[in-house]
Amino acid sequence: MDGGDVQTFTMGFPRGALLCLLRRNRLVRATDRVEALATILLFLVGLAIIPVVVTVGMSTHQHEAALYARQAGSVHQTTARVTASRPVASSYGSMDVYDAQITWVVDGLPRAASIRWPEDLTPGDQIPIWVDGTGKLTGKPMSPDQAVMDGVLVAVFLWTAVVAVGVGGHRLLIWRLDRHRDARWDRELKALSTGGGGRADHQW
């Protein structure tokens, strides 16, 4: 069965492939049935992998949520004072990022650092920063919503990867079957042209 529903895999139910597999028709070749079976198996794999990727996604969400919760518990927000600010040229020459020198106090002792800021600052400005338990400058903790997004992305990526491998194998099989069909037709056409006759009942 060249072309048609059997060669094109979609997530819709492969009705054409199922009919091809079950149909008792002498015009349906064995290669057509192999192709139809491969299409149905690919569809079933796409469905069967869904519970697995959902489980992996939920596990990822739980792990990341616990990690982000620990991270949020180990940092806190404080206020820093700007001592200097200068624009930083990007690779495109625009001045939309600023290098700010800041100071803050931890247990009565001053700390200083340099950070990138999206807007120009004036010495004396106060800005919020995040520090860890030792008072060291750190990044803002991840939002709990990010854990949900991580789980969804992992699940989608895993499902897509498995299906992509299956589709690749399916396409390779069709290519091999098409070559077999073409070779079969060439042999029979050659036999007809030389008067050797041909078989009308094609099994392959």
Per-residue pLDDT of the chain in tens (204 residues, 90 and over written 9): 444 444 444 456 666 555 556 666 666 567 777 777 888 888 888 889 999 999 999 999 999 999 999 888 889 999 999 999 888 866 665 557 888 999 999 988 999 999 988 888 899 999 999 999 888 999 888 888 899 999 999 999 999 999 999 889 888 888 887 777 777 776 767 777 776 554 544 454
Q: Is 201 exposed, middle or buried (0-12, 13-18, 19+ CB in 10 A)?
A: exposed
Check if the beta carbon of residue 57 is closer than 8 Å to that of residue 151.
yes
Report if pTM > 0.75. Answer: no
pLDDT at 9: 45
Strand partners, 111: 104
Kindly state whether residue 99 falls inside one of the protein's structural domains.
Answer: yes
Residue 59 is assigned to a structural domain of this protein: no
Tokens of 149: 């997004």
Which residue do the tokens 């492939």 mark?
Answer: 17
Structural domain containing residue 99: 75-143
30 found inside a domain:
no
d(CA 102, CA 140): 17
The residue assigned the tokens 């002792």 is: 109
Q: Into how many domains does the chain fold?
A: 1
Q: What is the pLDDT of residue 1?
A: 47
C-alpha distances in Å from residue 77, one per residue of 71, 100, 136, 141 = 13, 18, 11, 10
Task: Please report the pLDDT score of residue 79 as a whole number.
Answer: 93
What pLDDT is stored for residue 3 in this prediction?
A: 45
Q: Is residue 17 part of a domain?
A: no
Structural tokens at position 40:
């149905």
Which two three-digit tokens encode residue 126? 């106060």
Q: Residue 18, class by beta-carbon neighbours within 10 Å (0-12 exposed, 13-18 middle, 19+ buried)?
A: middle
Rounded Cα gap, residues 2 and 6, in angstroms: 8
**Does 137 reside within a domain?**
yes
